[in-house]
Amino acid sequence: MLILIAGITGNMGQALLRAAVSQGHRVRGLSRSADKLSPDLRASLEGFVCLSTYYDIPAIEKAVAGVDAVISANANVPGLTLEGQLILLRAAERAGVKRYVATSWNADWTKIPLGKHESYDEFIMFKRHLDLSNLSSGVTIEPIYIFTGILAEFAFRAPSDMTEVPEIPWWNPTSGTAVYYGDGKCRWQWTTFADAAAYTIDIVTSKNAESGGIYSVLSDAGDVFYMAQVWKEVTGKDIKLIPAGEVEGLREFAMAGRKAHPLSQWKKYIGPFYWLNQIEGDWIQDEDTLYTSEKVVPTKLKDFFEMHKDWYAKF
């Protein structure tokens, strides 16, 4: 298949490119510039289309022409997640594309209401709008949404060029500490970029992809004590577990931050809500119904730490 990846120069976009090529597909890229791609990744592309803004419709229509599937891998930027993605999806519909993966790869926000977690509001509004709308053309894409829990490179501070990192300072290899609230038995769920990308390509190229749907995938899961145990096994070093207080104190802190800032400044206060919503189980994925594939072997935490052992060794 020929797959268009919008936002191909980001970490997820590049992981998707590698996964698609490894699974035997051709890839076209869409982004503002190809400069972030290494020479070998650029050489693996069928083509690359530059766009000036997310509403550069001529560039978007050029990009979607003739492709079999579209994956929106753009960063969660206000406006881009909702407006930009609607423009991309409508262009894909006009081009006759029927396979579309919506920007997701996060906690399962279908389980929470609008306003519960501001950084997910545009995702919720995008899906809700599509659920309500009916194009006069009669051609409607049924998007695919893929939930991964937190991305492992975020959670464990592994090497990444991401500029937007959720404020979850639970794991700090520099100081050898991990922070937790309550009894620390909250079960966290995570997926590596590579695993998320491999699952995505497998799903969007499957025979059921045109029907859309919600998919949950994970690399691994566990509480902070499990993380510390695996860290010790791999590095030989201890992680000092620091209790930060009770969950009610976290809730009060989170709510105070929300009250102190206007909605447009949600990035200044959203961090504690990642903790709070996970601890309270608001978006926990059902691990008994995860999507599996013969093409993907989930990266367990021990393997993840081993992969980045040289980088972690400097701490």
Which tens digits make up the pLDDT trace of 97-133?
999 999 999 999 999 999 999 999 999 999 999 988 8
The per-residue pLDDT for 134 is 65
Rounded Cα distance between 244 and 183, Å, is: 10
Give which of 290, 314, 99 is closest to 210, Cα–Cα: 99
The answer, yes or no, to whether residue 137 has pLDDT greater than 80, is no
- Helix H, strand E, coil C: the string for 211-252 is HCEEEECCCEEECHHHHHHHHHHHHCCCCEEEECCCHHHHHH
The answer, yes or no, to whether residue 76 has pLDDT greater than 70, is yes
The answer, yes or no, to whether residue 77 has pLDDT greater than 90, is no
3-state secondary structure of 136: coil
Torsion of CA 26, 30, 33, 39, to 10 degrees: -10
The answer, yes or no, to whether residue 315 has pLDDT greater than 80, is no
The per-residue pLDDT for 203 is 98
More confident residue, 310 or 11: 11
More confident residue, 281 or 155: 281
Q: How far is CA 173 from CA 11, 46, 163, 190, 200, in A?
A: 21, 40, 19, 18, 30
In the chain, what's the furthest Cα-to-Cα distance? Answer: 62
Sheet holding 177-180, edge to edge: 171-172, 177-180, 240-243
**E-assigned strands of the chain?**
2-6, 26-31, 47-50, 69-72, 100-101, 144-147, 150-151, 171-172, 177-180, 188-191, 213-216, 220-222, 240-243
The answer, yes or no, to whether residue 184 has pLDDT greater than 50, is yes
0.75 surpassed by pTM: yes
pLDDT digits (tens, 9 = 90+) for 51-62: 999 899 999 999
Residue 139: which pLDDT band, with cuts at 50, 70 and 90?
A: low
The answer, yes or no, to whether residue 169 has pLDDT greater than 90, is no
The answer, yes or no, to whether residue 9 has pLDDT greater than 90, is yes
The per-residue pLDDT for 3 is 98
Looking at residue 119, what DSSP letter applies? G
Torsion of CA 109, 114, 119, 122, to 10 degrees: 90
Q: Please state the rounded mean pLDDT for residues 231-257.
A: 93
Residues near 65 by Cβ (< 8 Å), separated by ≥ 6? 95
The per-residue pLDDT for 166 is 41
pLDDT digits (tens, 9 = 90+) for 253-294: 999 999 999 999 999 999 889 989 999 999 999 999 999 999
Query: By the 8 A CB rule, do 198 and 296 touch?
Result: yes
The per-residue pLDDT for 167 is 45
